[in-house]
Amino acid sequence: MRPLRLTVIGIGYLGLTHAACMADLGHQVLAIDTDRDRVARVAAGEMPFFEPGLEPLLRKGLETGRLRFTTSYQEVAAFGEVHFLCVGTPQRPDGAADLRYVTGAIDSLAPHLRSACLIAGKSTVPAGTARTLLASIRAAAPAGDAVDLAWNPEFLREGHAVADTLRPDRFVFGVTTPAAEAVLRQVYAAPLADGIPALSMGLETAELVKVSANAFLAVKISFINAVADACEAAGADVTQLTAALAYDERIGRRGMAPGLGFGGGCLPKDIRAFRATAAALGVESIARLLGDVDEINTARRAHVVNMARKAAGGTLSGKKITALGVAFKPNSDDVRDSPSLDVIGQLAAEGALVTAHDPVALDNASRLRPDLRSAKSVLEAAQDADLVLHLTEWGEYRSLDPAALAAVVTHPVIIDARCALDTRAWQSAGWTVHTVGRSA
C-alpha cells in the first residue's frame, strides 16, 4: 500500500477518530479545525471527548509524526491528495440539516486547490448536497475540473468509534468517476484486503444510504417502544417479548432495546433532516413514517417522568431523586439531545431535587445545564433519595450492589427506564422496581 497524504477537515467525534485511524493505517494525515483551542489541545495529545481506545491512537499518530494538526487551509490544500470533510451538520430550527459548516469548509478550502485532488465527504448530508458542492468547488478552485468529489458516509457509533472506523460493516463510495473510487480503495487498502466489502454507487444513493440506515435504526427503536406501551397496557413484559422476537432471524436482537428511546448528536437530527428532504422532494410516505417515529421517541421521556410522578405518590415537588446516567448512551460522554438529561430537566421543572451521576459525562452535562446537581459516586448521589431513576445503561449500573444502595436511600424505589437491571436481584434487596414496558 502506498501511504497517501490525507487531510481531515473538522476534528469532532467523527473527524478526530477518522484522522487518528487513517494515521494508524500508515497514511500521512493533516487535520484542521476552526476551533483553535481544540487544535492546540489535540496537537498536545489531549482528548477533547471520551472515546474508548482513541487516545492511544492519537498519541501514536503524534509520536510517529504521521498525524499533525493545523489551522491553515492553505497548508491543508497544499498537502492533501484526499481531503476528508468531517464537519458538523446540525439541525436547523425547521428540522432540515444546517449545511453552513459544510459550505464554510468548502469556501475556505476550494480557492487554495491548485492541483488535482479528491474531496471525500463523510458528514451526513441530504441527498443532492454533494452534486451541488461539486459544481461550486470546481468553479472556485484554481485546479477546476481536476478536483473531484466523492461521498463516503460514516457509520461509526460513539463508544465503538475506533473499531467501527477500522473494521466497518462495509464501505460506501458515492462517486462520479472510476478514478475517485480507485483513490478511496487506496485509502482503505488495508481493511479492504482483510475482506471488508466496499460498495460503489452514485452520489445521491450514497447520501441516502447513510440517512436510511439511521432512519431504519430509529424505526426499530420506536417500534419496540410502541410495543412497550402495549405491553404495559396489556399486562405483558416487553423484555421477555423482545427476547422471543429475537429468535426470528428476520427481526433479530440488535437495536431492539425498549426503554427511554434514542438521542445523541446523530439519530434525532438525521431523521428530522431526512423528513425535511423527503417533504421537499414530495415523498410523503417516508416523511410521515419518520414524523411518527420522532413523536413516539420524544414521548418516551414524558412517559418516564409520568412513571416517576406516580412512583413518588402523585407529585415530584420536593422529592429527592437520583438520576443514574446523563450521557445519551453508555461508553460516551456525549450529552447532545440526551434523553436522560431531558428527563432530569423535566423532573426539575416539576420541583424535584435531582442529583445526577455519570461515569464520564457530568462535565458536558453541567455545561448544558449549569444548575445540574451531581455526585462523584452512586452511593453519594443516592443519599436520602426518595426515588432512583436508571436512565443511561452503563455497565457499572448493572453491577451495582442493590443492598448497599438500599442502605443509603430513604425509599428503595427504582425506575428502570432502560430495561437493563436484574429486577429479581433488586427486589430481593428490598427494592420496589418499576420497569418500562412492564405493567407490574
Ligand X SMILES: NC(=O)c1ccc[n+]([C@@H]2O[C@H](COP(=O)([O-])OP(=O)(O)OC[C@H]3O[C@@H](n4cnc5c(N)ncnc54)[C@H](O)[C@@H]3O)[C@@H](O)[C@H]2O)c1
Q: Which residue is nearest to ligand X (CB)?
A: 12
CB neighbour list of residue 164: distance below 8 Å, 6 or more residues apart: 155, 156, 157
Residue with cell 480503495: 185
Q: Active site includes 266?
A: yes
Phi, psi dihedral angles at 11 (to 5 degrees): -115, 55
Beta pairing class for 198-201 and 320-324: unpaired
Q: Is 354 helix (H, G, I), strand (E, B) or coil?
A: strand
For ligand X, which is the closer residue by CB, 70 or 383?
70
Residue 29 CB, shortest distance to ligand X, in Å, is 15
Smallest distance, Å, CB 138 to ligand X?
19
Distance (Å, whole) CA 273 – CA 275: 5
Q: Which is nearer to ligand X, 152 or 346 (CB)?
A: 152
Closest approach of Cβ 158 to ligand X, in Å?
4
Main-chain phi, psi angles of 325, to 5 degrees? 105, 135
The minimum distance between CB 9 and ligand X, in angstroms, equals: 5
Q: 153 vs 261, which CB is nearer to ligand X?
A: 153
Phi and psi of 91, rounded to 5°? Answer: -90, 135
Task: Find the shortest distance in angstroms from Cβ 183 to ligand X.
Answer: 21
Q: Work out the burial of residue 369: count CB atoms within 10 Å of its CB; fewer than 13 is exposed, 13-18 middle, 19 or more buried.
A: middle
CA distances from residue 31 to 115, 118, 162, 171, 359 in whole angstroms, order as listed: 19, 15, 17, 21, 29
Would you tell me which residues interact with ligand X (CB under 6 A)? 9-15, 32-35, 38, 86-89, 101, 104-105, 108, 123-124, 154, 156, 158, 265-266
In whole angstroms, the minimum distance from the beta carbon of 415 to ligand X comes to: 28
Closer to ligand X by Cβ: residue 182 or 199 = 199
Q: Which candidate in 117, 231, 266, 419 is catalytic?
A: 266
Query: What size, in residues, is the chain?
Result: 440
Side-chain-side CA neighbours of residue 228 (13 Å): 27
* Smaller CB separation from ligand X, 122 or 434: 122
**Interatomic CA distance for residues 120 and 184, integer angstroms:** 8
Nearer Cβ to ligand X, position 33 or 81?
33
What positions carry a catalytic annotation? 266
